[in-house]
Amino acid sequence: MVLFKGSRSWKCWDHRAWSPGALDNAGGQLTREPQTGDQTSRAARQLDGQGRFGRIYFFSIRSDAVTRWNVREIALYGVGARRRTIEFDIDKVNVITGASGTGKSAIIDAIDYCLGSTDCRLPFFVRGHAVAVAVHWVLGDSDLIVGRKIPESGSGTNQMFVRTGKNLRLPNTSEGLEGPTNRDTARAMIEKSFGIQDTDDPAVAAKSEKGRATIRDVTPYLFLSGDIIISRETLLHDLHRPEKARDIKATMPYFLGAVNQTSVLAARRLRQLEAALGRIEREAKAQERSQGLLTQRSIALLTQAEGIGLIAELPSSDASDQLLLDQLRGVAENGVLTPASGDSETRAVLEEERRQLVSELQTLREKRQMLRRTIREAAGYGTAVSGQSHKLKLVEHLKLGDGRCPVCDAENAAGLAMAEQIQNSLTIVAHEVLAVDVMRPRLDDHSGHVENQIGSRSGRLREVEAQLSGLLRVEEESAGAASLLQERARVVGRIDQFLETTARDYEISSTNTASLESEIENLRDQVDPQARRERLRDAENMVSNFATDMLADLPTEVPATGARVVFSSAPSLSLIEPTRRAVLAMAEVGSDQNYLAMHLALSFSLQKLFETMRAPVPGLLVIDQISRPYYPKGGDEKRLKEMEKDDDQVAMQKIVRFLFEETARRAGLQVILIEHAYIEEDPEYVAAVKGRWTKASGVKLIPSDWPNRN
């Protein structure tokens, strides 16, 4: 055994479990992992000064020396200057044993409450007899005291007390708590002390900012509560609460060193801007589709206005939307005082134009039908001519111009005549093929021109019919109107309403997306999702390797025995059993002993990674009863010999050894074990006991003689 001085205290290390060169004299930290036999059971790794681990670069998310916050004391204050203080050793295992109902599990609730939780989960008996609680954190010679009033019922109080400095002590009474502030400010002060980075922009640090790591996102890595430690479904503290699970998942990459606080917020800002840009683009497309309707409704209103003399004449059919809206605004401003004129002439002109358009469309459709038929016939004729040309070209190898018979090769009149006939046929077919090739494109062009004319005439016909419909509505409504003045007022009212509502909805947005797109590109460069994925994957692999080695040191049953642990930041945990290499989800593993081992392996693996990565997570792990698989629930303090099975006694001793040895390996890690079992056979366990709250002793978290606070 050798003694090694860490950053704050001397620690005892088994030199047989460590390879040569295990001590880094420059940094005062262990930098290599234990060796087992000829193989390295835990990968030898060293973090350099640039945030690099092996070949993977991680964000340095804490700049302090490699020391970690521990809990020195917890104090509960009652009425009449009463104080109950529990002291703990730093960098060590601390054990509190005793009976059920003595308040041991409330230690987790007290620490959580003083970390700024919205709710107060302290038990009813504690609330009824204690008026305040305080936790004394230490980091080297630095102190952090966080206190908070305890409500008799309901949610937690908004007022907290935070004080930082050196050589601080807990006050004797709750009135002595210093540094009163509100909960949000207290959280920010604790985050600053723990090293959770913030940004210079106060708006980013607002309470509503999602994706920013806060002190409330640290608690899943500090507590192994009774409802989690042997759970077959819930991996971490509070992960079963939907309102907490979202934040735990969002901030886990930050604590694993895959991202820093700035990149987390940049990624969130990028998602917001990309969503905003997509919304602007969708609105622009919708506005483009709406312009046709805007034009149609504007012309309809102007037609009504022209029909009752509010305007002298209608605008041209190719007038822009802006010109139409300007003319409508002019009508609305002039009101009903515009000189009048009849609408019969306008209606007659429109009806005549409609008749002409219908006639032209009929003629054009007939022409289109003839062209389609001609094109089909030309295509068939061209196919036939091409076939004949191909057949006649088969005789091109004959020498038709040498005066001989193409059949018998003799010089005679009959052969010469036959050669001339063949040559004439070839010439005729060639001319026909040429004619087909020339005419077909012309027919296609003419057909396209006719289609364009039909489309143009149809569009104009719809506009004319809309104008006639407007005039018809004016005539129908005017018949029941008392006077032309009333009709004009009605039309002007319609125009006013149109300009105030519909026209505004269809106005083209003048949003300049250039600056938005530029900011998106800059944020994409900052976020670098590929590098983030690689860092996160490597951190997951590191935790998986750590947990696999630790699981081998813990008592397990098939299929967990000899299995490989696979951790994901989803977060999730699965096992690859060694026999068939089957991948098992947590719920499929079975056995409380296996679930206990898996939770312990994961919690200590994460703490090991946090130490290595200098993550802003306190070096604290509060574990609520490792003996759950071996003792019945409830009752008084239990002895090891009270276990029914010898195998259970061996397993319990193995778990206890794991806690002490793994805590000794981790610089700055403090474990608070809340337990029913008193293992008197283990001297180190006995020495670590900070309190035996048994029925015989009568000791509890809240002394029995404390009066009710009322």
**CATH code, domain carrying 87:** 3.40.50.300
Distance CA 503, CA 496 (A): 10
Greatest Cα-to-Cα distance within the chain, rounded to the nearest angstrom: 146
In the listed set 505, 538, 562, which residue is the last one of a domain according to the structure? 505
> Is the domain of 250 the same as that of 314?
no
pLDDT of residue 483 exceeding 80 = no
Where is pLDDT greater, at 532 or 545?
Answer: 545
* Angle (CA) 655 634 590, round 5°: 50
Which structural domain, as residue segments, surrounds residue 196? 70-257+528-693
Establish if 698 belongs to a structural domain.
no
> Is the domain of 348 the same as that of 474?
yes
Establish if 298 belongs to a structural domain.
yes
Establish if 64 belongs to a structural domain.
no
| The pLDDT of residue 392 | 59
pLDDT of residue 307 exceeding 60 = yes
User: Any idea which of 200-204, 546-550, 695-699 has the lowest mean pLDDT?
Assistant: 200-204
- Nearest alpha-carbon partner for 161 in 197, 136, 194: 136
Establish if 376 belongs to a structural domain.
yes
> Is the domain of 332 the same as that of 481?
yes
Distance CA 376, CA 385 (A): 14
- Nearest alpha-carbon partner for 6 in 95, 90, 63, 93: 90
Tokens encoding 416:
């010469």
> Is the domain of 105 the same as that of 234?
yes
- Which range has the top average pLDDT, 337-346, 402-411, 665-674? 665-674
Q: Which pLDDT tens digit goes with each residue over 605-627?
A: 999 999 998 999 999 999 999 99
**Contact of 168 with 190, CB cutoff 8 Å:** no
> Is the domain of 231 the same as that of 114?
yes
> Is the domain of 212 the same as that of 339?
no
> Is the domain of 478 the same as that of 548?
no
User: Any idea which of 60-69, 233-242, 491-500 has the lowest mean pLDDT?
Assistant: 60-69
> Is the domain of 446 the same as that of 493?
yes
Establish if 475 belongs to a structural domain.
yes
> Is the domain of 90 the same as that of 160?
yes
Mean pLDDT of 489-514: 71
Establish if 423 belongs to a structural domain.
yes
> Residue 33: pLDDT band by 50, 70, 90 thresholds?
very low
pLDDT of residue 208 exceeding 80 = no
pLDDT > 70: percent of the chain: 74
- Nearest alpha-carbon partner for 68 in 193, 220, 185, 155: 193
Establish if 310 belongs to a structural domain.
yes
Number of domains the chain is built from? 2
Establish if 246 belongs to a structural domain.
yes
**Contact of 611 with 619, CB cutoff 8 Å:** yes
Q: Which helix (H) or strand (E) holds 18?
A: none
Where is pLDDT greater, at 409 or 641?
Answer: 641
> Is the domain of 370 the same as that of 448?
yes
> Is the domain of 612 the same as that of 537?
yes
Q: Which helix (H) or strand (E) holds 621?
A: strand 620-624
| The pLDDT of residue 286 | 66
- Is there a cis peptide before residue 571, judged by omega within 30 degrees of 0? yes
* Mean residue pLDDT across the chain: 79
Mean pLDDT of 4-24: 35
> Is the domain of 564 the same as that of 659?
yes
Mean pLDDT of 467-495: 74
CA torsion sign, 423 to 425 to 431 to 433? negative
Mean pLDDT of 524-528: 70
Tokens encoding 583:
């991948």
